Amino acid sequence: MKWANVYQYIRSPFVFYTDSPETAETFRRMRAGYENITKILLVERKAVWAFDYVERIKAIYSIPGYPKHHPNTVVPEYSCAQHAKYAVVEETVLKNYFNTTYFAWIDIGYFRYIVGRNKEFVIVKPADFNESRIAMNKVYDVSMDVSVDSIFKGNRVWLGGGMFFGSEYTLPTFIADYRHAVERYLNMSLSSTDQQVIYSMNTIKEKPYVRRRVSIQAYSARYCWFYLGFSCYRELS
């Protein structure tokens, strides 16, 4: 919650999802005075399609010898929460509470290193953004000629899942393809987080089997997990 304090200063339209009444109330107080650009949604997990997978994921993590990368391949609900990012963005784009063209998912702790700045800010479109793509943050240079089994079981990462950015025209298609890929990998008894799903989707070997109708535009500074977010961060004078 200390990391979350930064969101009292965001002046872009802000949609917040939680399944905790206490957290919802905390954010209502935090956003006092900015209700016109704030939507706080208290949801039940069972209402979010990502949590439909919890029992299947639990069964996978119970397979003897399945690698333990805490919490990614240990806590089924954690994996569901990573998929839930895409579920709630899908809903937000559909309902478009603030009549916007662009949408970004940002993890609650994404701006943890500037909690003490106490400056009003907005999120802007990434530089040189290709409108036909979605933007994500590249963390590591990786080979695309690898097996999905090695990605999931080796906890391998290409893009960070802490933020992604796109438009009302691209995100629904990207998310539909993402969900299709999640189900494919669950059928293969593979589960972890969205980071492993997206890396796997883009490998050479998966090209015949998954839909990739929207390409990813990767933004990167070497080994930085937060480059995309800070490149979109603009403080207000």
- Tell me the pLDDT of the chain (237 aa) as tens digits: 899 999 999 999 999 999 999 999 999 999 999 999 999 999 999 999 999 999 999 999 999 999 999 999 999 999 999 999 999 999 999 999 999 999 999 999 999 999 999 999 999 999 999 999 999 999 999 999 999 999 999 999 999 999 999 999 999 999 999 999 999 999 999 999 999 999 999 999 999 999 999 999 999 988 799 999 999 999 998
Find all residues with CB under 8 Å of 154, minimum gap 6, and list them.
67
Q: Which of 94, 106, 102 lies closest to 160, judged by CA?
A: 106
Q: Which of 106, 111, 105 lies closest to 91, judged by CA?
A: 105
Note the pTM of the prediction, 2 decimals: 0.95
**By three-state DSSP, how is residue 160 classified?**
strand
Domain count, the chain: 1
What is the pLDDT at residue 212?
97
Q: What is the DSSP string of 16-81?
A: EEES-HHHHHHHHHHTTT-GGGEEEEE--GGGSGGGGGHHHHHHHHTSTT----TTTTT-HHHHHH
Range of the domain at 16: 3-235
What is the pLDDT at residue 66?
98
What is the pLDDT at residue 237?
86
